[in-house]
A and B are shown apart, each in its own frame.
Chain A
Amino acid sequence: MRTGWKKTLALIAGVGLAIGACGPGATPSPSAPGASSSAAAPGGSTAASPSAVANACGDAPITLNVWGGYPEMDAVYKKAGEAYTALHPNVTFTIFSTDLRGFEQKLTTALPSNTAGDVVIRTANFLARFIDQGLLAPIPPDLEAFIKGGAYSDTDLKDATYKDKIVGVPIFSSGTALYYNKDYFAEAGLSGPPTTMDQIWDYAKKLAKVDGSGNVTRSGISLRLSGQGSGVAEKFWILLLQSGHELVKETSAGHYKADYNGPEGVTLFQHYVDALRDKIDSPNIDHDAKAFETKVTAMFAREPWVVAEIATAAPDLVGHYGSISLPVADLGATETMYVPTSAPNAACSWDFIKFLTAPEQQLTIPPTAGWLPSRKDLDLSAFLAANPGYEGFLKKPSGLKVSLTPPIAEFDELETKLATHLVDAYADYANLAGKPDKIQTMLNTWADETNQILTTNGHGS
């Protein structure tokens, strides 16, 4: 039997080799040169991107590895790569991306061991540790001058800054808006979307539906009540911003203190548990984008990618929903581009990054990936007219305050731990609704933990 085994294995190996010989070649064929991006040229004047240097990439064949954490952006990078290859035929691209968790693990092993790609795209926040270790190269002066030259908003610049230096080149940005179902609003006799927090809670009450057995069949607003990671705390934070408070507030340069356990924090938490008690939302109903797309919720707050998802997964909703900016404040995030210090073709990598800041490339992002470009000096009016779902992201009230993730390494930890507490507390809503004192005590306990984490890491106030 053993010899029989060997024969079988040899046979399999032989067949396998034969298939391999006839199968696709060992290297994927490079993207065909000649195809350039097709986005419409922006109207009006825009700050000129630094022109791509003619020979930053030399003449020898180079392959640039582009690493990103959002697979939906792959198509953008690929198209940009094809356009770039048209200008520099010796440069080909491989795009590597995976979901965020895998991506973060990958960066953690690859950057310190100098095996990372040529262009890395992530938030300055997350990469702060790596920057501290000197693993990411500083931006070349001409590119830095361009970034500061007015093409980007102050918020984007701030999010790309670490220790008073701009460390990454912004590419696409995120924010949150309130999605609402127009049909349900009309049915409830509401003339338009809510423009204040009070209206949001008020409308939610009117929009919720309960069936005969007391189960919520439509939530007035879909709150983030469960899940892993820091998402639950992040959504709480976004609503807390509307009352002028942060999760942690900077008291002096580099020092922070928990800011969610004041009276506004208590009030917001009360809204959550009251909503659960009064059957405006329920742990048992679907939540989030899925709930909105299957029409079991009337409102929910999320980032721009939902618009793209609705167009593909729930086309019957198109035209029956809208998005509106949050009343007072928003939480922003900017994905930025870097070149690892160990990258062999740094000049070429920076040149490609410059290329991606060009208006034509920026404008490919919304139709392809659903995210919004970071450059603020582009004309997106045609795009908005064709995709009204983005209204809440592109039409912001004047004076809207945009908050950012504080540039402290331990923020993820304290946000995640707060999220764990919130999840447990929401589950306990029956015992907490209508008990502001109890809620205050609970928030204070959590704030102690938050402050403890800050202090341990040298950022306590």
Chain B
Amino acid sequence: MRQSRLVPNVIRWIVIALLIVGGLAMVFPLVWLVSTSLRPAPELLLVPPRLLPQHWTLDNYTKAFASAPLLLYLWNSFVFAMISTVFILLTSTVAGYVFAKFSFPGNNVLFMLVLATAIVPFEIYMVPLFLQVNALKLVNTQIGLVLPFLVLSYGIFFMRQNTLTSVPDELLDAARIDGMSETGIMLRFVPRLLAPAISALAILAFIQAWTAFIWPLLILNKPVLFPMELGLSQFANTRVDFGLTSAGAVIAMLPTLIAFLFLRRRIVEGITLTGLRG
């Protein structure tokens, strides 16, 4: 990775040290959460609180897996998040590209409309949306669950902005002159240029679906269909079982962590393909 040789090494190491200190402060609440998940119930209310438990225990985790079909919930969340992510990536990349690189009557208006839908809080349109989905008889189904998560206004906005930054017109013209079809450009050429952005959007879409709670709560009745967050809220009486809730939160966090680690390399690798040639 290129380093700027204009900045002396000493400063560089000081900056790194400061960043690490800041980073540790950032993860402190998470460390605390993990520590809580490893505590037995009587240690939850220690005064003054201790960071590390006196008696380490995996009880919360065994209890979590015993009181609810967590693997099933994890699987449901995984399917849900994957479908949502794929659709969001597809619709966002394609629409973002079109909004950014094509002039046509209504471009701005439509885009503003898309952006406007991002502003409205979910609490407001969730009831009419529920009634719509109910009219389609999709309540308590997997399709009904995933439906609102097939598009993401932010996604379109994000890909449009990234297209503006990373896809120069010249490159597009060159591809057209080379004989590529518009569809080919849209589905093969442009995404290659936008790989880092696509990876970033993938993570964000995945996390959004993974941590969704209210819509699954409204649309699902059968526990067999529950995703993680909803499943967790079922058995945890958060008053007494904060250890249990924390264990659930840690379990829920791991897949998103893995997804991030997996996708992060793509964000870095993407840079080698940009740049105008010659």
Contact = CB atoms under 8 A, between A and B. Distances in A.
Interface of A: 1-3, 5, 9, 12-13, 16, 19-20, 23-24, 26-28, 65, 70-72, 74, 94-99, 102, 105-106, 108-110, 113, 115, 117, 289-290, 293-296, 305, 308-309, 312-316
Nearest to B198: A5
Given A16-B78, A71-B234, A294 B72 contact: no
Given A2-B188, A117-B221, A312 B130 contact: no
A5 B82 CA distance: 13
Contacts of B213: 102
Given A28-B224, A315-B42, A102 B75 contact: no
A294 B49 CA distance: 11
B47 A296 contact: yes
B180 interface: no
Interface string B22-51: 000000000000000000011011010000
Given A65-B221, A74-B235, A102-B233, A24 B69 contact: yes
B218 interface: yes
Given A16-B78, A71-B237, A105-B217, A312 B41 contact: yes
B36 to A, nearest CB: 12
15 contacts: A2-B187, A2-B192, A20-B75, A23-B72, A24-B71, A26-B224, A28-B223, A72-B240, A74-B235, A94-B222, A98-B217, A113-B130, A115-B140, A295-B47, A313-B45
Interface string B56-72: 00000000000001011
A115 B224 contact: no
Given A109-B130, A313-B45, 11 more contacts: A1-B192, A1-B195, A3-B188, A23-B75, A65-B221, A72-B239, A95-B223, A105-B217, A113-B131, A294-B47, A309-B239
Contact of A113 (B134, B214, B234): B134
A162 to B, nearest CB: 25
A96 B239 contact: no
Contact of B41 (A97, A99, A109, A313): A313
Residue among B86, B230, B239 with the highest chain A CB neighbour number at 10 A:
B239
B45 to A, nearest CB: 5
B207 interface: no
B237 A115 contact: no
B143 interface: no
Interface of B: 41-42, 44-45, 47, 69, 71-72, 75, 78-79, 82, 86, 127, 130-131, 134, 139-140, 187-188, 191-192, 195, 198, 213-214, 217-218, 221-224, 230, 233-240, 273
Contacts of B234: 71, 74, 96-98
A343 to B, nearest CB: 12
Nearest to B42: A315
Given A1-B192, A71-B235, A115 B222 contact: no
B82 A99 contact: no
Contacts of A26: 224
Interface of B (DSSP majority class): helix
Task: For the complex of A and B, list the 5 residue pairs with the smallest distance between their C-beta atoms, beginning with the closest.
Answer: A294-B47, A71-B237, A113-B134, A72-B237, A1-B192
A366 to B, nearest CB: 15
Q: Is the interface of A mostly helix, strand, loop or mixed?
A: helix
B11 to A, nearest CB: 36
A174 to B, nearest CB: 14
B238 A314 contact: no
A102 B217 contact: yes
Contacts of B140: 115
A12 B82 contact: yes
Contact of B240 (A94, A117, A308): A308
Given A2-B191, A13-B82, A313-B42, A27 B224 contact: yes
Nearest to B73: A24
Contact of A110 (B47, B79, B221, B236): B221
Contact of A109 (B45, B127, B235): B127
Contacts of A296: 47
A270 B112 CA distance: 55
Nearest to A310: B240
Nearest to B269: A1
A98 B174 CA distance: 57
A328 to B, nearest CB: 29
A16 B83 CA distance: 12
Nearest to A117: B221
B240 A312 contact: yes
A94 B195 CA distance: 45
A197 to B, nearest CB: 28
A26 B233 CA distance: 20
A322 to B, nearest CB: 20
Nearest to A315: B42
A16 B191 contact: no
Contacts of A16: 75, 78-79, 82
A296 B240 CA distance: 18
Contacts of B78: 16
A321 to B, nearest CB: 14
Contacts of B79: 16, 20
Contacts of B86: 9
B42 A28 contact: no
Contact of A106 (B47, B134, B217, B238): B217
Nearest to B78: A16
A357 to B, nearest CB: 24
Contacts of B273: 1
Contacts of A295: 47
Query: Which of B47, B140, B191, B238 has the largest number of chain A CB atoms within 10 A?
Result: B47
Contacts of A72: 237, 239-240
Contacts of A110: 218, 221
